[in-house]
Amino acid sequence: MSYQGWACSTWVTSWDFIKTIVPEEASKFEKVCNDIDDAAYRIAVDDFDFESDEGMALVELDEAFMRATGGLDINIGYINEDSDSEEHGAVWFVGGVQEITPAGKKYAKNLNYLRWVEYG
C-alpha cells in the first residue's frame, strides 16, 4: 500500500468577512444550516443536497457575494484535520483573484492564499 500527498493551494477568506459583505444571505445560510463545518464536509464527500433549503441558501450566498464584490465567487470546501494546512474544517475558497483583478485588489487585505498538503 502506498502513501501519497497532494499539494493544494487556493485563495481563502473568513466567514466573518463574508458576513460583512453579504449579511442578509449569510444570515439566511446560518439559519438553514445547522453546522457549517458539517455542510462543508458533506459537500466534500458528495452527500449534500443542493436543491434543499440549505443548498439554495448556499447558491444565493455565492451569487450575492459575486454581485457585491464585482466578480469574486466563493465556494465552501473542507480541509481534513490530517492535512498540514493552517486551517481545517470549513474553508471559504475565493475565485476570481488568481490574477489580482480590480475586485481582488479592493478586498486583498481580507484574502489569504492558503497552501497545504493532503495525505492519503
Report pLDDT digits (tens) over 32-79.
Answer: 998 999 999 999 999 999 999 999 999 999 999 999 999 999 999 998
Tell me how far apart the alpha carbons of residues 92 and 36 are, in angstroms, rounded to a whole number.
11
pTM recorded for the entire structure: 0.81
Report pLDDT digits (tens) over 95-108.
Answer: 988 778 899 899 98
**E-strand stretches of 37-100:** 73-79, 89-95
Spatial CB neighbours of 24, under 8 Å, sequence gap ≥ 6: 64
Look at residue 2 in the predicted model and tell me its pLDDT.
57
Report pLDDT digits (tens) over 81-96.
Answer: 888 888 889 999 999 8
Look at residue 47 in the predicted model and tell me its pLDDT.
94
40 within 8 A of 77, measured Cβ to Cβ: yes
Q: How far is CA 61 from CA 29, 49, 67, 119, in A?
A: 7, 16, 10, 31
Predicted confidence band of residue 112 (pLDDT cuts 50, 70, 90)? confident
| Residue 71 burial (CB count, 10 A) | 14
Q: How far is CA 93 from CA 45, 68, 72, 89, 109, in A?
A: 17, 16, 10, 12, 15
Predicted confidence band of residue 120 (pLDDT cuts 50, 70, 90)? low
